[in-house]
Amino acid sequence: MVTPLPTNEFARAVTIQPDGQIVVAGVRDTAFGRAFMVAHYNANGSLDTSFGIAGETLVHVRNDQMAVALEPDGRIVVAGPGIVGGGTNFALVRFLAAGPQIGSFTASANPATAGSPLTLIASNIIDLNPGATIAQVAFYVDSNGDGKLEPGTDTLLGYGTQTSPGVWTFTFTVNLAPSTYTLFAQAEDSYGVFGDPFALTPTAQ
C-alpha cells in the first residue's frame, strides 16, 4: 500500500497498535513551517480516513527527528527535539484517542412549518477520551448548500441543552423559506476536542 506524499514530507517512526492498526509519525513542511505529522492506517495497510483529517493530523512544531509510542488507552505520544519560539526545545505531543461522537440526530416536527417551533435532538453522544465530558453541542444550518460544516461561514442556530445523559436538544422558531435544508450537530468535549458533525435534512414548508 502506498500513500502519496506532498513535497517535503518524511516518515520518521512507526508503531503497531494491539488491534493491528499502524501509526506513522513524521514531519511535513507547511505554509506555517515544519509540523509534526501523524498518519493512521488500518490493519490491511489502507489509510484510516476517520483519523484526523483524511487519515492525518498535524501539530506545528518544527522538528526533524522523533519517536512515537502508544498509551494503554490508545492515545498516541510523539516526542523529539523541536524549535519552538525561535529556540531549540524538547517537544512532547499527545493525541487524544477520539473526539465526541453523536449517535443520532433527529428533528421534531419534520416537515416543519414556518413560524412554528422545531426541536433538534442529538442523542447517543459518547466520548472515548478518558476523563472527558461533553461540554456543548452546537447546531448549524448549511448556509451555502455544499453539504459540509464550515463553522466560520455556516449559520450557528444555537447551542443545545442536555436533557438526559447523552441527549442534547435545541428548539428554535422556523424562519426558513420552504425547502429542504441540511442541518448539522457537532459536539465538543471538556478537552476542547470537536467531534465529527452529524447531518440532518429536514424540510421547511
Q: Is 197 found in the same domain as 124?
A: yes
Give the range among 8-12, 16-20, 38-42, 128-132 with minimum mean pLDDT.
8-12
Question: What value does the CA radius of gyration of the chain take, rounded to a whole number of Å?
Answer: 20
The model scores a pTM over 0.85: no
Q: Are residues 69 and 155 in the same domain?
A: no
22 lies in the same domain as 74? yes
Among residues 65, 95, 125, which one ends one of the domains? 95
Confidence of residue 36 (pLDDT cuts 50, 70, 90): confident
**Total domains present in the chain:** 2
Confidence (pLDDT) at 198 = 92
113 with 177, same domain: the answer is yes
Say if residue 105 is exposed, middle or buried (CB neighbours under 10 Å; 0-12, 13-18, 19+): buried
On the question of pLDDT at 17 being above 90, the answer is no
Residues 137, 193 share a domain: yes
Q: Provide the residue type at 56 as one letter.
A: E
Chain-centroid distance of CA 154 in Å reads 17
Confidence grade of residue 107 (pLDDT, cut at 50, 70, 90): very high
CATH number at 144 reads: 2.60.40.10
Inter-residue contact 9 to 26 (CB < 8 Å): yes
* Residue 111 shares a structural domain with residue 194: yes
Is residue 3 a part of any domain in this protein?
Answer: no
Query: How many CA atoms are closer than 13 Å to the CA of 13, on its beta-carbon side?
Result: 18
Strand extents, DSSP E, 60-126? 67-70, 76-84, 87-95, 104-108, 117-123
Please, which pLDDT band fits residue 76 given cuts at 50, 70 and 90?
A: confident
Res 30: pLDDT: 66
What's the pLDDT band for 161 if we cut at 50, 70, 90? Answer: very high
pLDDT given for residue 123 in this prediction: 97
Contact 122, 200 (CB under 8 A): no
Pair (120, 175) in one structural domain: yes
Query: Is 2 within the bounds of a domain?
Result: no
Q: Kindly state whether residues 90 and 131 are assigned to the same domain.
A: no
Q: Percent of the chain, pLDDT > 90?
A: 33
Residue 3: per-residue pLDDT: 64
What is the pLDDT of the chain when averaged over all its residues? 83
Q: Which domain holds residue 110?
A: 104-204
Q: What is the pLDDT of residue 10?
A: 75
Domain boundary, last residue among 49, 78, 95: 95
Say if residue 109 is in the same domain as residue 182: yes
In a shared domain, residues 26 and 82: yes
- Does 1 fall in a domain? no
